[in-house]
Amino acid sequence: MSSSSSSIDQFRSNRLATATSPYLLQHAHNPVAWQPWDEQALAQAREENRPILLSIGYSACHWCHVMAHESFEDEAVAEVMNRLFVNIKVDREERPDLDQIYQTAHQMLAQRSGGWPLTMFLTPDGTPFFGGTYFPKTPRHGLPAFTDLCEQVADAFQQRRSSIDEQNIALRNALAETLPDASASMTAVVFDARPLLAAAESLAQSFDHTYGGFGRAPKFPHPTDLAFLLRHAEPQMRSMALVTLRHMAEGGIYDQAGGGFCRYSVDERWEIPHFEKMLYDNGPLLGLNADAWTTTRDPLFARVTEETAAWIMREMQAPGATGGGYYSSLDADSEGEEGKYYVWTREQVQTLLTSEQWRAAAPHWGLNDAPNFEGHWHLKVAKALDEADRPLITAAKQTLYVAREQRIRPGCDDKILTSWNALMIEGMAHAARVFQRPDWLASAQTALDFLRNNHWQDGQLYATSRNGQVHLPAYLDDHAFLLAALLELMQAEFRPADLVFARELADVLLADFEDRSAGGFFFTAHSHEKLILRPKQGHDNATPSGNGIVAFALQRLGHLLGEPRYLDAAERTLRLYWPQITNSTMGFSSLLATLEETLIPPDMVILRGPAEECAAWQQALGASTRHMVLNLPNSVSGLPEALAKPTSDHVNAWICSGVHCLAPIDRLETVKQQLAAQ
């Protein structure tokens, strides 16, 4: 047997072989002796006084796959890595705590933003001393060969350890300074609307009036910013959101044949995406397109909502009696090529369609123009459609979708993440309320029930599961997003168990995550393993800020139930971040939503009476984001005191705003007038 074959056999299966993450499993048979982030790997680094090579990525990441194929599957590269380092591979979706910490550290060390794959070199205590993102196997684009870099880093660790230790002290101090100033929560604050006005102005300054969105390429959806704008009555603010959503819906970031949005656009026109599809984007965008339709009655937004919901239920929801949760993502690549599954040649499309369909489709999707993606066409709306041709385009889409399904599909990361599922549950439930779609509501409730039955065990929430294996204690975002999703679900259809679950989650948040002395909520629970930083993030990123969402949800739940503990925790959170918000509003849209409802509490409407009449009233009152409507027919019992209104043989509505409640109202038009006046 050759030494080469022996080396392959030695690392035929590394410690990732028992992982649940599809991303980690992709590396389980690398010749690199990968280990998960756990005490065994960390102890080995300490005992052997060896540096750690930490690689963070995720399943749908294109450049993660490139680096894996170039370096991690190569025996010569693996020999260098195994000789010099304890090698740890992390799925950033399962361990967002580690990703937050080391992305921040990378930015401090490299003085530029990070990304994935994130490649960090750590001392045995977990402190990073050098890092980057993608490194090529051979030198190019100003980057060194990965093996040369590994040798240099290991040599620096051995020869310049005292300098590294000094740098580590400075880095840890700098990381600690990223936490909000605890003294802010001790200061008396009078909240006002100035940050709301400043946020609108900041977004207006970066708004692209031609194509929508904010800033230049690459362009990301920023759902929290769009939600902030769409909530407001000012035409200019709403217009920024609507223009952006319209251009996204007509661009290539939206899958014109199959529905759903890709993660971002590489150009300013929303035309060519990075082709991965993430659950966390599509949940909020589903709800936003439903709200855009409510505002405009533009059929474009109704169609995008319909198609996206259909795609989610068809391709992203686990089937069967033991299923119900939503999968995490679809890869950008198939057959080793980015976008191959989604793009077309002109001849492929023309052959599949009838002559009449081709006549409508070619100008509509830009197939008469030059190819827009590596000699191929990625579909976009290039020309407005004559509505008489709409049936032709609908039929053409179905034909292309069926044909595309015969191709080799992109990989699906089928793990079930609590936080991302919660974002989709909320979006699906809201869209169901707007369009009165019981099938969408059933999808959201099924996913929620899956989480409650599997990820919630003995008062402990877990972050992820796959194939029935649930693990990793949940983070702030898991609890916060799930609480917000429950508030939305209860408005779509009140189920007493959902309210019980909401109160349990709220109490866990206060007990296990809140910083009672300084205010706000840590990203990890008090019992979490000790890391070099315990993040307490207020900024929105690709997903909303956990602190913003938990403050918003606790405030709403507190008003609904008359529970001061929840209201006080929300106020402490807002007070903690108030200096940051007033200094710079960018990135704080989730917390600004809390501020809005602190200044003007939302109306809480409780409907009691016969079931059919209550349902009719609820439908007539619509699905506003500015007030909550709970339909509690006479048959619902065991309600908490704040909701236990008297039963009646006709509908009564109780409207409360903050601590002020009106007398019960028995006329629907009066309720509408009262809500419109707010």
CA atoms of 369 and 481, how far apart (whole Å): 43
Give Cα 261 distance to the centre of its chain: 13
Check: CB of residue 85 under 8 Å from CB of residue 158. Answer: no
- What's the sign of the alpha-carbon dihedral 20, 23, 29, 30? negative
Q: Could you tell me which of 104, 67, 81 has the C-alpha nearest to residue 31?
A: 81
Average pLDDT of the residues in 10-38 = 92
- Tell me the two tokens of residue 480: 């916060």
CA atoms of 633 and 176, how far apart (whole Å): 51
What is this structure's pTM? 0.96
Q: Could you tell me which of 63, 56, 35 has the C-alpha nearest to residue 98?
A: 56
Check: CB of residue 462 under 8 Å from CB of residue 418. Answer: yes
Tell me the percentage of the chain whose pLDDT exceeds 90. 93
- Tell me the two tokens of residue 643: 């909701």
**CA gyration radius for the chain?**
26
Give Cα 525 distance to the centre of its chain: 20
Whether residue 397 has pLDDT greater than 60: yes
- Residue 271 CB: number of other CB atoms within 10 A? 20
| Alpha helices (H) along 453-563 | 476-492, 496-512, 546-561
Average pLDDT of the residues in 38-56 = 98
What's the chain's average pLDDT? 95
- Tell me the two tokens of residue 628: 């909550």
Tell me which DSSP letter residue 450 carries: H
Lowest-confidence region among 211-220, 313-322, 355-364, 664-673 = 313-322
List of residues 6+ apart from 215 with CB closer than 8 A = 206, 208
Can you tell me whether residue 128 is helix, strand or coil? strand
Is the bond preceding 218 in cis, omega lying within 30 degrees of 0? yes
- Tell me the two tokens of residue 649: 């043989």
Whether residue 142 has pLDDT greater than 50: yes
Check: CB of residue 381 under 8 Å from CB of residue 251. Answer: yes
Check: CB of residue 489 under 8 Å from CB of residue 498. Answer: yes
Q: What is the pLDDT of residues 279-300, one digit of tens each?
A: 999 999 999 999 999 999 999 9
Whether residue 559 has pLDDT greater than 80: yes
Q: Tokens 């509408």 identify what position?
A: 672
Can you tell me whether residue 118 is helix, strand or coil? strand
Average pLDDT of the residues in 537-558 = 97
Average pLDDT of the residues in 442-464 = 98
Whether residue 184 has pLDDT greater than 90: no
Check: CB of residue 544 under 8 Å from CB of residue 588. Answer: no
Can you tell me whether residue 205 is helix, strand or coil? helix
Check: CB of residue 99 under 8 Å from CB of residue 118. Answer: yes
CA atoms of 519 and 575, how far apart (whole Å): 8
Whether residue 4 has pLDDT greater than 90: no
Whether residue 321 has pLDDT greater than 80: no
Q: Which amino acid is at 246?
A: R
Residue 580, CB-side half-sphere exposure with 13 Å CA sphere: 23
Can you tell me whether residue 394 is helix, strand or coil? helix
Q: What is the pLDDT of residues 572-629, one digit of tens each?
A: 999 999 999 999 999 999 999 999 999 999 999 999 999 999 999 999 999 988 899 9
Check: CB of residue 313 under 8 Å from CB of residue 304. Answer: no
Supply the pLDDT for residue 625.
Answer: 87
DSSP lists the bridge partners of residue 498 as: none
Q: Could you tell me which of 424, 556, 430 has the C-alpha nearest to residue 502?
A: 556
| DSSP string of 265-292, one letter each residue | ESSTTS-SEE--EEHHHHHHHHHHHHHH
Average pLDDT of the residues in 555-563 = 96
List of residues 6+ apart from 32 with CB closer than 8 A = 11, 14, 72, 77, 78, 81, 82, 87
CA atoms of 291 and 295, how far apart (whole Å): 6
Strands 337-338 and 333-334: antiparallel
| DSSP string of 29-68, one letter each residue | TSSS--B-SSHHHHHHHHHHT--EEEEEE-TT-HHHHHHI
CA atoms of 401 and 314, how far apart (whole Å): 13
CA atoms of 133 and 41, how far apart (whole Å): 22
Whether residue 8 has pLDDT greater than 50: no
For 160, phi and psi rounded to 5 degrees? -125, 40
- Tell me the two tokens of residue 441: 């509501």
- Tell me the two tokens of residue 608: 């009691």
Query: 239, exposed or middle or buried, with CB in 10 Å at 0-12, 13-18, 19+?
Result: middle
Can you tell me whether residue 406 is helix, strand or coil? coil
| DSSP string of 368-382, one letter each residue | TS---BTTBB-----
- Tell me the two tokens of residue 305: 């909502």
CA atoms of 48 and 652, how far apart (whole Å): 71
Query: Quick one: pLDDT band at residue 185, thresholds 50, 70, 90?
Result: low
- Tell me the two tokens of residue 185: 């929560």
- What's the sign of the alpha-carbon dihedral 362, 363, 366, 370? positive
- Tell me the two tokens of residue 135: 């490194």
Q: What is the pLDDT of residues 410-425, one digit of tens each?
A: 999 999 999 999 999 9
Q: What is the pLDDT of residues 490-523, one digit of tens each?
A: 999 999 999 999 999 999 999 999 999 999 999 9
Whether residue 550 has pLDDT greater than 60: yes
Average pLDDT of the residues in 539-566 = 97
